[in-house]
Amino acid sequence: METNYPNRYRWVILSLLFVATTVNYMDRIVLSVLIPTIKSDLNLNDIAFGHILSAFQLTYTLGFLFVGKMIDKLGTKLGYLLSILLWSAAAAMHGVCKSASCLAIWRGALGITQSGNFPAAIKSVSEWFHVQDRSFATSLFNAGSSISNIIGPPLIVALALQAGWRWTFVAFGLLGFLLVTVWQVLYKSEKQPELEQDQTKEHIPWLQLLRDRRSYAIMLGKFFTDPVWWFYLFWMPNYLSSQRGFDLKEIAFATPLIYIVATLIGFVGGWFPGFLMRKGWSVSRARKTTMALSAALLPVTAFAVFAPSPWLAIALVSLACGAHNSWSANIFTLTSDCFPSRAVGSMTGLAGFAGGLGGLLFATLLPGYIVEYFGYVPIFVLMGILHPIAYGCVHVFLKSR
């Protein structure tokens, strides 16, 4: 019984990571779901909305530069706890805002504090799961990013209709304080020795990581693909409202459908490399094959903007988000495939920084101006080609592996 305890308890750990990621994304999407109401109340246009989103994306990006290293030094339990505590306070403070500048300030605070989520979660997976199980474990906790979009919009809209958009921000922020208590009680920090090949505790500096060509496979893979997820997460409710005539209740119904499909496809993408490895494939070949299949789906989804029916558009966006989830489970896991656990937080931070830069450019700054002056067609087409570009980078920098 004793020897089986770590194998059983790792699922408790994974459940905690899933819940934390779900709460993390719930706090992110409140603004996007309620933006039609907030734009009307505060007299905002799409450019102002883009600037508010950019404040989050900028600080989220910069946060990765030091938060990943902080997670490596403090450990997963304390580092993640501090991140949850601070992002929950920032989320709640959105409710006091009466101007775009105030929203941008607290959106920026939310970004820097939420940047601890993935470095801590990926590091935890590397400490508790074998290499052939890590992409599936990652797909399971990362499903929180989709589950939040399934259960979140109906809850957010229902609460906003009853209490107003300001109290909605406060309520979802308070949810994080409850999570802090659960995290402190249930999370255990013990590493599993049989999973860790490198037992030294010396931290690996950034310069050493940046000399490794595998770092650029991960960083460029994130730079070109993170914007796709961010774009649909931030802009889809606005698109459905302004271009397809959806009201808040219709957005609350449509958005979960996108992320139900995204979750299921993400699970398959996380499971498939482990299946191939058990068939005798190498880790690199199994991982890259799954990523290639995922990337190949994205160009088709660009046709969503041309779809005559809004529901066909929603179906294609669902496929885009699902293919991205499949990709994401594997690009995240490349970090623990290529580097020891003591470097996973730092490498995830560098990758997150690269992804954040891509998101800042392609998902927040540019869309605000492109949508305002040229409409949605150019940006949907761009979202369709970024994953194939990213796969080309991954293939080149991991070619000899």
Say what the pLDDT of residue 173 is: 94
**If we measure between CA atoms, which residue out of 261, 256, 273 comes closest to residue 336?**
273
- Identify the band that residue 288 occupies on the pLDDT scale cut at 50, 70 and 90: very high
Mean pLDDT of 132-138: 87
- Identify the band that residue 1 occupies on the pLDDT scale cut at 50, 70 and 90: very low
- Judged against a pLDDT cut of 60, whether residue 196 lies above it is answered with no
Higher-scoring residue by pLDDT: 244, 64: 244
Say what the pLDDT of residue 347 is: 86
Angle of the 131-163 helix axis to the 248-278 helix axis, nearest 10:
170
Mean pLDDT of 284-305: 96
- Identify the band that residue 2 occupies on the pLDDT scale cut at 50, 70 and 90: very low
Say what the pLDDT of residue 54 is: 86
CA–CA distance, 129 with 28 (Å, rounded to integer): 28
Amino acid letter, 337: D
- Identify the band that residue 45 occupies on the pLDDT scale cut at 50, 70 and 90: confident
Fold adopted by 5-185+205-397? Growth Hormone; Chain: A; (1.20.1250)
CA–CA distance, 35 with 252 (Å, rounded to integer): 12
Listed in sequence order, the residues at least 6 apart from 108 whose beta carbon sits closer than 8 Å to its beta carbon are 55, 56, 58, 59
Mean pLDDT of 246-271: 90
pLDDT tens digits for range 152-181: 999 999 999 999 999 999 999 999 999 999
CA–CA distance, 267 with 137 (Å, rounded to integer): 9
- Judged against a pLDDT cut of 90, whether residue 7 lies above it is answered with no
CA–CA distance, 332 with 348 (Å, rounded to integer): 8
CB 215 within 8 A of CB 347: yes
Say what the pLDDT of residue 162 is: 93
Say what the pLDDT of residue 192 is: 56
- Judged against a pLDDT cut of 50, whether residue 401 lies above it is answered with no
CA–CA distance, 399 with 213 (Å, rounded to integer): 10
CA–CA distance, 200 with 82 (Å, rounded to integer): 25
- Residue position matching structure tokens 């000899």: 400
Higher-scoring residue by pLDDT: 308, 209: 308
- Judged against a pLDDT cut of 70, whether residue 201 lies above it is answered with no
- Identify the band that residue 206 occupies on the pLDDT scale cut at 50, 70 and 90: confident
- Identify the band that residue 100 occupies on the pLDDT scale cut at 50, 70 and 90: very high
Rounded to two decimals, the pTM is 0.77
Angle of the 5-42 helix axis to the 76-93 helix axis, nearest 10:
20
**If we measure between CA atoms, which residue out of 231, 274, 239 comes closest to residue 384?**
231
CA–CA distance, 227 with 220 (Å, rounded to integer): 12
pLDDT tens digits for range 67-93: 877 888 888 899 999 999 999 999 999
Question: What's the chain look like in SS3?
Answer: CCCCHHHHHHHHHHHHHHHHHHHHHHHHHHHHHHHHHHHHHHCCCHHHHHHHHHHHHHHHHHHHHHHHHHHHHHCHHHHHHHHHHHHHHHHHHHHHCCCHHHHHHHHHHHHHHHCCHHHHHHHHHHHHCCHHHHHHHHHHHHHHHHHHHHHHHHHHHHHHHHHCHHHHHHHHHHHHHHHHHHHHHHCCCCCCHHHCCCCCCCCCCHHHHHCCHHHHHHHHHHHHHHHHHHHHHHHHHHHHHHCCCCCHHHHHHHHHHHHHHHHHHHHHHHHHHHHHHHCCCCHHHHHHHHHHHHHHHHHHHHHHHHCCCHHHHHHHHHHHHHHHHHHHHHHHHHHHHHCCHHHHHHHHHHHHHHHHHHHHHHHHHHHHHHHHHHCCHHHHHHHHHHHHHHHHHHHHHCCCC
- The residue extents of the domains of the chain are 5-185+205-397
Say what the pLDDT of residue 134 is: 87
Say what the pLDDT of residue 23 is: 95
Say what the pLDDT of residue 352 is: 85
- Identify the band that residue 191 occupies on the pLDDT scale cut at 50, 70 and 90: low
Mean pLDDT of 27-36: 91
CB 78 within 8 A of CB 183: no
Say what the pLDDT of residue 195 is: 53
Listed in sequence order, the residues at least 6 apart from 53 whose beta carbon sits closer than 8 Å to its beta carbon are 107, 234, 363, 364, 368
Say what the pLDDT of residue 52 is: 92
CA–CA distance, 80 with 23 (Å, rounded to integer): 13
Say what the pLDDT of residue 4 is: 57
- Identify the band that residue 203 occupies on the pLDDT scale cut at 50, 70 and 90: low
